[in-house]
């Protein structure tokens, strides 16, 4: 709840700055980050928080319904925003990278040990990880690059991606995973910068969940 209140404060501050409009680049950054934040909270935020675990209904059903919701949002974004689709999902030899998570996926049942049903886990990871990559590095980063240097856009995108994960773990910031997430964020953002697609970021991110 506190994070939502901070977001509302940010929206109010953004609207005030928009009225002044003396800093167009900052205005551009804030608009992109605010839109990303809303999309993140109501999609990936559902999974990162404990909402699905604490709900009274069956966790498998909860995760399955949440995954379907994210899939619908993803399809709408890909279909209704063709400019970002063309920029971030072009034809590329890097598509061969998906063979690695595919192979790991085949081996997953032999060592899977989570309480969540594996047939719920697999589509959840495939869909939500792709959505994270597409939303952040496929839409936010190209949007920021319209008015910022590519390197600057990559740094801001990486920091936003890191913040999107950490905001739900404010009581555990010393966890070693924080460093891993931060490193991954910059690898993902700069792979997007140098390859003009999200395939490296998405494949690496997916591999992490199937190892």
Tens digit of each residue's pLDDT (9 = 90 or more) over 85-104: 999 999 999 999 999 999 99
Where exactly are the structural domains of the chain?
A: 2-210
Per-residue pLDDT tens over the stretch 124-148:
999 999 999 999 999 999 999 999 9
pLDDT at residue 53 in the model: 80
**pLDDT over 90, % of the chain:** 73
Q: Note the pLDDT of residue 52.
A: 84
Q: Which token pair is 54?
A: 């604490």
Q: DSSP label at 21?
A: -
Question: Percentage of residues in the chain with pLDDT exceeding 70?
Answer: 89
Q: How far apart are CA 174 and CA 179, in angstroms?
A: 9
Confidence band (pLDDT; 50, 70, 90) for 176? confident
The answer to whether the beta carbons of residues 164 and 39 sit under 8 Å apart is: no
Nearest CA-CA partner of 35 in 63, 14, 66: 14
At 1 the pLDDT is 45
């Amino acid at each position: 709840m506190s994070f939502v209140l901070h977001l509302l404060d940010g929206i109010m501050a953004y609207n005030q700055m928009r009225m002044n409009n003396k800093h167009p680049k900052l205005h551009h950054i804030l608009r992109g980050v605010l839109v990303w934040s809303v999309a993140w909270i109501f999609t990936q935020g559902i999974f990162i928080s404990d909402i699905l675990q604490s709900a009274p209904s069956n966790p498998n059903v909860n995760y399955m319904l949440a995954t379907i919701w994210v899939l619908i949002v993803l399809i709408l974004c890909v279909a209704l925003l063709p400019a970002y689709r063309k920029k971030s999902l072009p034809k590329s030899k890097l598509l061969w990278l998906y063979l690695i998570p595919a192979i790991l996926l085949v081996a997953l049942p032999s060592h899977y040990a989570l309480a969540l049903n594996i047939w719920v886990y697999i589509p959840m990871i495939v869909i939500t990880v792709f959505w994270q990559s597409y939303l952040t590095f496929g839409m936010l980063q190209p949007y920021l690059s319209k008015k910022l240097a590519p390197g600057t856009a990559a740094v801001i995108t990486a920091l936003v991606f890191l913040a999107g994960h950490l905001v739900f773990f404010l009581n555990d910031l010393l966890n070693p995973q924080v460093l891993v997430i931060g490193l991954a964020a910059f690898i993902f953002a700069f792979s997007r910068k140098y390859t003009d697609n999200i395939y490296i970021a998405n494949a690496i991110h997916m591999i992490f969940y199937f190892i």
